[in-house]
Amino acid sequence: MTDKPNGQSMIPDEEKRLERQLCFAVYSAAHAFNRAYKPILDRVGLTYPQYLVMLVLWEKGRLSVKTIGEKLDLDSGTLSPLLKRLEQAGLISRTRDPKDERQVIISLTEKGTGMKCQVGTIMDAIGEATGCDMTEIANLRDRLQQLKTNLTAE
């Protein structure tokens, strides 16, 4: 946003304040989401990142660790301990891919599959916490997905 011939920004000083920054609004909203999810997910015994893994598995079934990491934008250093805790809780199982021993396949256990019925309750609680209806949530989600696309475009 450099409009002046000398390359300086024409952004008013008021817009340069922390609370006016888009990045800070997204950052603080993400923290607020984590705080809102915590008591809801505590009731079902999941952390927020574990819930995201479970959402992917409820949708797709069996997936490689690599694919889960790609879908959630998590590296293996973050994902591996998460998966270990889910396995210890009896929600997933890990097996080597017989076609490629380097790949680990994650599958839901019966207990993990049975938890899928919790998604609606969790979504209802978060929807209520946001104060938004489904249309507003969909619009916000779509705008944020477009923002991510713009920021990651090469």
Q: Domains in the chain, ordered, with CATH?
A: 23-126 (1.10.10.10)
Q: What's the pLDDT at 7?
A: 64
Q: How far is CA 137 from CA 15, 59, 63, 129, in A?
A: 26, 20, 28, 12
- DSSP characters over 57-114: HHHH-SEEHHHHHHHHT--HHHHHHHHHHHHHTTSEEEEEETTEEEEEEEEE-HHHHH
Digits of tens for pLDDT over the chain (154 positions)? Answer: 555 666 677 888 888 899 999 999 999 999 999 999 999 999 999 999 999 999 999 999 899 999 999 999 998 889 999 999 999 999 999 999 888 888 899 999 999 999 999 999 999 999 999 999 999 999 999 999 999 999 999 7
- DSSP letter at 17? S
Residue 97: predicted pLDDT: 81
pTM equals 0.85
